[in-house]
Amino acid sequence: MNDQKHRKPNFKREEVPENIVTGRNPVMEVLRGGRTVDKILVAKGEREGSILKIVAMARKKGIPVQDAERTRIEALSGTAGHQGVLAFVTPFEYSTVEDILEVAEERGEPTCIVILDGVTDPHNAGAILRTACCCGAHGVILPKHNSCGMTPTLIKSAAGATEYMKVARVTNITDTVELLKKHNIWIYGTAGNASSDIYHTDLTGPCAFVLGDEGRGISRLVREHCDFLIKIPMKGPLDSLNVSVAGAVILYESLRQKENAK
C-alpha cells in the first residue's frame, strides 16, 4: 500500500523559502509594514480572534485571502507552529552594515549592534532579534554561512521585529568586526570564562555584542578580534544560559546603563 500522501513532509531548514511568513503577529506586522504581500492563506475553521483582523486588513489592501487545509500551510511553511495563517510576501531584503550605522547616526545614539556567530537555531535567532528591537538596537548582523536565514520559524519567533530591524548578512564576521572598529565601535565578545562581567563593564558607548552558539560559543578567530570579553555572573549548578536569554540580559544591562547615563 502506498502511504506516501499520508507522510508528513520532511524539510531541511534551507529548503524553506524566505518569501513565506507565518504566525498571527508576524503576518499582521507584514501587513502594516512596507513589504508587498501577494496572498494570504488561512486555515479552514480559523475565522476568529486576530485572524479576523488579519483578514480585514488584507481585504482593505486588496490582498487575496484564501482558505486552505492546515496540512497545506504546514507543508508550505515547514512548521506546525503557523497559527493557522501564512502570507506570501516579497523576499526579505537584507540591509548592509552601512545601513545599520546610518540608523544610529540618524537617531543620534551610540551605535548598538548584535552579531550572531554560528547561531543556527531560528527560534534563538528570532528571539534575539525581537529583544534587540525592544532594546533599541540599530541592527543585527548574521554570517552567510553556518547561520539560519529569514525562515518562517525565525520570523515567527521574532514576533514582527523583522519588519522594523535592519538585518545584514556578511561573508566574514572578523572582517566585519574590523570594519566596525574603524567606526569607533567597541566589540564585546561573550565568554563564560571572561574576567569581566557585564555589571562591572562600561556598556554606554558605541558597541557591538557578539553572541555565539551556546554549545561552542563564539569562534576562536572572532574571539581574538574582540576588544573585550564579558560574561554574565552565574550562581547555582548550571554554568550557561540559552543564547537568546543571555543576549537579552546583556542588551538590557546596556540599555539600563545608557538610560542612567543620561
Say which residue, 17 or 181, is predicted with more confidence.
181
Distance CA 218, CA 210 (A): 7
The number of beta carbons lying within 10 Å of the beta carbon of residue 199 is 12
Residues comprising the chain, all counted = 262
Buried b (16+ CB within 10 A) or exposed e, 52-70: eebbebbeeeebebeebee
CATH for 12-89 (3.30.1330.30, 2.120.10.80, 3.10.20.310, 1.10.3720.10): 3.30.1330.30
Say which residue, 252 or 76, is predicted with more confidence.
252
Distance CA 83, CA 22 (A): 7
Query: How do residues 193-209 score in pLDDT, each as one tens digit?
Result: 898 999 999 999 999 99
At residue 102 the predicted structure's pLDDT band, cuts being 50, 70 and 90, is very high
Distance CA 56, CA 52 (A): 6
- Span 97-261 CATH architecture: 3-Layer(aba) Sandwich (3.40)
pLDDT number for residue 131: 97
Strands 186-190 and 207-212: parallel
Domain with CATH 3.30.1330.30 in the chain: 12-89
Query: How do residues 19-45 score in pLDDT, each as one tens digit?
Result: 888 889 889 988 987 778 999 999 988
Cβ partners under 8 Å of residue 155, min gap 6: 21, 22, 23, 26, 92, 126, 162
The number of beta carbons lying within 10 Å of the beta carbon of residue 183 is 14
User: What backbone phi and psi angles, to 5 degrees, belong to 90?
Assistant: -65, 145
- State the Rg of the chain over Cα: 20
If 0-12 CB within 10 Å is exposed, 13-18 middle and 19+ buried, where does residue 98 land?
Answer: exposed
Sign of CA dihedral 31, 86, 96, 138: positive
Q: What is the pTM of this model?
A: 0.78
If 0-12 CB within 10 Å is exposed, 13-18 middle and 19+ buried, where does residue 171 land?
Answer: exposed
Domain with CATH 3.40.1280.10 in the chain: 97-261
Distance CA 222, CA 61 (A): 46
pLDDT value at 240 more than 90: no
Distance CA 204, CA 32 (A): 33
Amino acid code (one letter) for 179: L
Distance CA 140, CA 151 (A): 15
Q: How far is CA 45 from CA 26, 52, 66, 205, in A?
A: 20, 11, 12, 51
pLDDT value at 138 more than 70: yes
pLDDT value at 63 more than 80: yes
Distance CA 57, CA 261 (A): 42
pLDDT number for residue 108: 95
